[in-house]
A = this chain, B = another copy of it.
Amino acid sequence: MINVAIMGHGVVGSGVAEILIFHPDRMEKSVKTPVNVKYILDLRDFDDLPYSDKFIKDFNIILQDDEVKVVAEVMGGVNPAYDFVKRCLLAGKSVVTSNKELVAVKGAELIRIAKEKNVNFLFEASVGGGIPVLRPMVQCLAANEITEISGILNGTTNYILNKMIVDNMDFASALKLAGEKGYAEKDPTADIEGHDACRKICILAALAFGKHVYPDQVKTEGITDITLEDMEAADAFGCVIKLIGHAKKLPGGKITATVRPTLVSRDHILSGVNGVFNAIFITGDQTGDVMFYGKGAGKEATASAVVADMLDCIKHLNARKYLDWEDGVADYVDNQNDQPQRFFIRLCSKELSAPTQEVKTLFGNSCFVKNEDRGEILLLTDPQPESEINRKAEALRAYGEVKILHTML
């Protein structure tokens, strides 16, 4: 029998407890020995559960019990999760977490400690909820060099954008509906401003490229400025707008890492990822493009990923899983690299003949649409450096409001 502990009994934590306690047969089938939840750490009281006897309020009980070999951290936030996880690892326990903030901020350090102590620190559930993605990525990496990652990493924003596209709902109404459906939190800032997606692209990039990427190194833009008019304009070029977390290797060893609203062609498989679903699209030099798709959140999905990691720790109690990255460095992420890309530009102006002439002069044969009724010019540029786009857009600002969006084209 193997003893484990769960720290936190919120949405995910209670899901983990329920799978482990109510499906003992699955656990035993997987690891060939019974798995016993010895403690559940939570400051609140849970008196009416079939497993109320397992609750404790003092972290030290877990820390000092040598029988507890694997601990799941499902409290969320950096504090006190960071302290608890670190001390568990130092005490020789394997730790599993669904806490993306913790991994994005402290991942490299915690992995290093796990390595020194010859235990495992796994966090499949921190990206993509129940979608197996980190483990297959490590697997892919064995024979591949991963060169680029593009992901729909946040279910709330994807739900909102999807409602705007399909039901012609404006941003505020779609956000309200997401709240009513339980897809958006009371304070939706972390989702709609892109912070949640940012943490996830940090983790993916670190794993794929081998060096820690810190959240503040990622150029992050949310979806609050996206309007129905933008959606319709994107549609004119056969595209939808998605919040895309993106990371790419640059020649010379640096990388780019961004989160921003991005035009995705309707022919691209990512454009079909609707509702609260997430998807991670990875390019490897050998496998070509692969994509992992599923529910990015939700109690059962996330809990099942945490449990799968716990079982993997149990199978590898005396062996390290090869999951690894180094500390990050200050100038590793270079978002000013200025490689040529295609951009989407929307210019609103009452008078269109002068700006049309200007657009032709500035952008030559780039694909463009003039919409007299609405007073707008829509432009899909040829690949050009971002600095050049910004310079040209500045010239257009003389005629009216200019909006620039990135594209995956």
A400 at the interface (CB under 8 A from B): no
A273-B269, A292-B292, A293-B293 known; A308+B140 contact, CB < 8 A: yes
Per-residue 0/1 for A269-296: is the Cβ within 8 Å of any B Cβ (1 yes, 0 no)? 1011110010000001111111111110
B288 touches A298 (CB 8 A): yes
Interface assignment of A250: CB less than 8 Å from any CB of chain B:
no
CB distance from A79 to the nearest CB of B (A): 28
Q: Give the residue among A289, A290, A292 with the most B Cβ atoms within 10 A.
A: A290
Task: Please report the C-alpha to C-alpha distance between residue A308 and residue B269 in the assembled complex, in whole angstroms.
Answer: 25
Is B292 a contact partner of A290 (Cβ separation < 8 A)?
A: yes
Stretch at the interface among A4-12, A141-149, A369-377: A141-149
Contacts of A267 in B (CB 8 A): 274
- The interface centre, meaning the residue of A269, A273, A312 with most chain B CB atoms within 10 A of its CB, is A269
Q: Which of A130-138, A337-345, A390-398 contacts B (4 or more CB under 8 A)?
A: A130-138
Q: Is the CB of A307 within 8 A of B269?
A: no
**Residue in contact with A142 in the complex, picked from B136, B300, B307, CB distance below 8 Å:** B307
CB-defined contacts of A139 to chain B, threshold 8 Å: 132, 135, 308, 312
- Which residues of chain A from 291 to 321 have a CB within 8 Å of any chain B CB? 291-295, 298, 300-301, 303-305, 307-308, 311-312, 315, 319
Q: Which 7 A-B pairs have the closest CB atoms?
A: A290-B294, A286-B304, A130-B287, A132-B136, A272-B272, A143-B307, A291-B293
Complex A-B: 9 CB contacts under 8 Å:
A26-B145, A130-B288, A132-B140, A142-B307, A142-B308, A269-B272, A287-B300, A287-B301, A292-B292
Given contacts A284-B304, A287-B304, A289-B293, 20 further A-B pairs with CB under 8 A are A23-B143, A130-B287, A130-B290, A132-B136, A135-B135, A135-B136, A139-B308, A143-B304, A144-B304, A269-B269, A269-B274, A269-B293, A286-B304, A287-B294, A288-B300, A289-B294, A289-B295, A290-B293, A291-B291, A291-B293
